[in-house]
Amino acid sequence: MAQEQQLGATGDGLTQEFVKEWRDTAYGCFSSGHKFCREVCPVMQVTRNENHTPTAFHANIVAMEQGGLSVADVADDYIHCTQCGACELRCPNTLFTGDFYRNRTRTVEVVKAMRALAVESGVEQPQWKRWVELTDDRKSEPVLNGTPVTQEHVRDWAEGLDVPTGGETILFCDCEAAFYRTSVPRATAMILQAAGVSFGLMNEQWCCGGPMAEMGYTEPARRFAEHNLADWRAAGAKRIITLDPHDYIAFTEDYPGYFGDDFDLEVVHITELVAELIQQEKLKLSNPVPRVATYHDACRLNKRKGIYKSPRAILRAIPGLTFKDVDHVTQWSYCSGAGGGLKIERPEIAEEIGRRRIARAAELEVDTVVSACPWSERPLAERGGELDDPIEVRDLMELVADAAGLDYGGVPV
C-alpha cells in the first residue's frame, strides 16, 4: 500500500508505469551512494555537472516516485549520455555480482526508457525530433548534414562489386558508411569476396532504427525493425553481418526485444568474422602497412558487448603495422562522443569528448587511430586533423583491405 501511495504521487499514468518498472534499478544505485561511475563517464569528464552523472539518472527516478520531480523537470539531464556503458562496468553492483549472477547495472536502459517516456509525454528535444523526422522520410539517417539521402542511392557504394541481392548471409551497411564513408563497406565487401564468403545485400535497406530508439522514438524504431526483418525473411537470410557496432547493438538487443523468439537470425560483427577468417588462413594478409597505430575501442563493442579481442588479433596480424595497444580496461572511459544522439543535441560536448580521446592517442606518438565503428571515425578524424601533427583515423577493415592488397577505392567521399 505504501508503494502504491508513493506511485500515486508521480501523477500521470505514463510516469507511474515508468517508475514502477525502474524503481528497483534506481534504488539499487541510489542506496549504494558510491558514484564510482562519475569519472569514467565521458560526458561528466567534460561538463562536471552532477545532473549528468549516471547516479543522477537513477536518483531522479527516486525523486519522481516521491512526487518531487516530473518528466519535464529531468528530461534535459538525459540528453547528456552517449550510452557507452562505461558506468555500468565501473559500478560495484556490476563488479561484485556480474561474474556470478550475470548481473549488470542497467543505466543505458534507464536512459533509453526515460527518453522514451519524455517523447511519449510530449517533452521532445528539437534536434532529435528533426533527425528522426528526416530518417523516417528518407529511410536512412541524414548523415550528410542536409545533402539528400535517398533509397535510390543506398547501394551506390557497391557499384562494380558484383554483389547480389538476398541470400542466407546479408551484409548490412549502416547509414554513415553507405552515404559518407563508402570506403568501409567497399573494403568489407572485397575482403569477404577474397575470403570466399558468400553474401548479398537487402532488397530495400532501411536504417536499423537503433538511433531512433536511443533518442526515445520507439514507435518508428520498431517500424523500421519490422521492415528490415521482413526484407531479411523474404531474402531467405539466416545470418546478418554488421559493419557498425550501433547496428550490432540494435540487432542483438532491440530486435530480440521487439520480436522475442521470432527473431532467430544469427548476427555477427565483422571484426569477429574477419578474425576467424585470418585465423583459418582463408584471408591472406601479405602487404605491409607501415603505420604506427593505436586502437579506439568502440563503446558498443568493448563496453557493451565485450568484443575487444578480435580487433586486436586482426591488428597484430597486419604485416608492417606497429600496434601500440592499451589494456582494454583502461579504455572504459574512452569515447568518440558520437553515440546516443549527443552530437545532435549537444555537439560542443561531443566534440570535446572526441578531442580528449585523440589527445590520449597523441600521447602514444602514433600516426593512426584505428576504429571498427564508422560512426566514430568522422568525429575522431575531425579532431585528429586539429593537431599540429595530425593523426589519421582509419577503419579496421580499410587496413585489412590494404594488407590484403585490395583496391577498394581509397578515402571516403
- Is 81 domain-assigned? yes
| Residues 110 and 225 reside in one and the same domain | no
pLDDT computed for residue 11 by the predictor: 55
Percentage of the chain modeled with pLDDT above 90: 84
Give the model confidence (pLDDT) of 282-313 as tens digits.
999 999 999 999 999 999 999 999 999 999 99
Rounded to the nearest integer, the mean pLDDT of the chain is 92
Q: What are all long-range contacts of 379-387, with beta carbons under 8 Å and residues at least 24 apart? A: 379/336, 379/337, 379/338, 379/343, 379/350, 379/351, 379/354, 380/296, 380/336, 380/354, 382/351, 382/354, 383/351, 383/354, 383/355, 383/357, 383/358, 384/358, 386/355, 386/358, 387/358, 387/362
| Residue 162's CATH number | 3.40.50.1860
pLDDT computed for residue 412 by the predictor: 43
pLDDT computed for residue 94 by the predictor: 74
Q: Which of 304, 348, 335 is nearest to 127 (CA)?
A: 348
| Residues 99 and 155 reside in one and the same domain | no
For CA atoms 155, 371, 78, 76, the dihedral sign is: negative
Task: For cell 560526458, name the residue.
Answer: 43
- Is 202 domain-assigned? yes
pLDDT computed for residue 101 by the predictor: 54
Q: At what angle do helices 54-65 and 107-120 cross, to 10 degrees?
A: 50
Give the model confidence (pLDDT) of 25-36 as tens digits.
898 887 777 788
pLDDT computed for residue 32 by the predictor: 72
| Residues 288 and 322 reside in one and the same domain | yes
| Residues 220 and 97 reside in one and the same domain | no
pLDDT computed for residue 223 by the predictor: 98
Average pLDDT over residues 159-186: 96
Beta strands in 99-229 (DSSP E): 169-172
| Residues 193 and 238 reside in one and the same domain | yes
| Residues 51 and 107 reside in one and the same domain | yes
Torsion, Cα of 135, 136, 139, 143 (10° steps) = -10
**Least confident range of 67-76, 193-202, 326-335, 365-374:** 326-335
- Is 162 domain-assigned? yes
413, pLDDT greater than 60: no
| Residues 354 and 308 reside in one and the same domain | yes
- Is 126 domain-assigned? no
| Residues 216 and 324 reside in one and the same domain | no
Point out the domain boundary residue: 272, 304, 332: 272
| Residue 364's CATH number | 3.40.50.11810
| Residues 263 and 142 reside in one and the same domain | yes
Q: What are phi and psi of 315, to 5 degrees?
A: -60, -40
Range of the domain at 27: 2-120
**Least confident range of 6-10, 104-108, 143-147, 310-314:** 6-10
Give the type of residue at 75: A
Per the model's pLDDT, the better-predicted residue between 1 and 256 turns out to be 256
- Please tell me the total count of domains within the chain: 3
| Residues 116 and 185 reside in one and the same domain | no
pLDDT computed for residue 1 by the predictor: 39
pLDDT computed for residue 9 by the predictor: 47
Residue 84 in contact with residue 78, Cβ under 8 Å?
A: no
| Residues 29 and 57 reside in one and the same domain | yes
Give the model confidence (pLDDT) of 213-238 as tens digits.
999 999 999 999 999 999 999 999 99
* pLDDT tier at 7, thresholds 50, 70, 90: very low
pLDDT computed for residue 325 by the predictor: 93
Task: For cell 539499487, name the residue.
Answer: 28
Q: Which residues partner with 369 through β-bridges? A: 294, 393
- Is 77 domain-assigned? yes
Average pLDDT over residues 83-96: 85
- Is 133 domain-assigned? no
* pLDDT tier at 67, thresholds 50, 70, 90: very high
Point out the domain boundary residue: 120, 148, 170: 120
- Is 184 domain-assigned? yes
| Residues 228 and 250 reside in one and the same domain | yes
- Is 129 domain-assigned? no
What pTM was computed for the model?
Answer: 0.93
Average pLDDT over residues 108-132: 98
Point out the domain boundary residue: 52, 86, 120: 120
